[in-house]
Amino acid sequence: MPAIYSEAVLKSPEVSERTVPQPSVVCVTNRWQDEPEEEFTPLSAEEARQWRSRQHASPVWRMLAWQIGVGLFVAAGVGLMWQSETLARSAAYGTFAVVLPQTLLLRGMANMQGRWSPEALLLRFFVWELVKIALTVAILGSAVKVLGEVSWPALLAGLVVTMKANWLLLAFQTANRSPDAKG
């Protein structure tokens, strides 16, 4: 290793070994490296059956049911508040414009994880999302033909509230979860 300091400086009386900086050792760790995982032990057939019996319905279908319920609640509320069947039908149609395309997307993506590569799954998701958007636009475009008289503010209210209902469900689940609960 080449000398960093001249011999004259090192032999001077003011310099001791303590004052001479020593090369430091840098310990580099990889922060992206995963921590060692626990040993994986597969479940037996009986353990797997018990685990499945403890699981609830698929969360995506629960979210869809939540969207339908909130949308119908808004449609009924709007219709009762303003005593107008047109407003209620328009709000319900807004709910329909969200729920039908969402149902097709969920059905198209159901149970595909194990059989497809990640790239194919991503492509499949984009295709179904495109179908969902096109169907939503078609449903909204046919509102006048289907409903006759349309209240666009009520239709948009039903559409927006139904789309955002998932955030309400998430807020309720987070608020009701105990601090020590996991998952």
The tokens for 107 are 């059905």
With cut-offs at 50, 70 and 90, classify the pLDDT of residue 141.
very high
The amino acid present at 2, given as its one-letter code, is P
pLDDT score of 68: 94
pLDDT score of 25: 60
Helix axes 85-109, 59-82, angle to 10 degrees: 170
In b/e form, how buried is each residue of 8-24, taking b as 16+ CB within 10 angstroms?
eeeeeeeeeeeeeeeee
pLDDT score of 152: 96
Please report the DSSP string for 127-180 in residue order: HHHHHHHHHHHHHHHTHHHHHSS--HHHHHHHHHHHHHHHHHHHHHHHHHS-TT
Closest CA to 159 of 101, 86, 80: 101
2-57 residue pLDDT tens: 555 556 655 665 555 555 555 666 656 666 666 666 777 888 889 888 887 877 65
Would you state the torsion angle of the CA atoms of residues 182, 172, 133, 128, taken in this order, to the nearest 10 degrees?
Answer: 30
| CA–CA distance, 128 with 120 (Å, rounded to integer) | 12
With cut-offs at 50, 70 and 90, classify the pLDDT of residue 183.
very low
The alpha carbon of 109 is separated from its chain's Cα centroid by a whole number of angstroms, namely 15
The amino acid present at 39, given as its one-letter code, is E
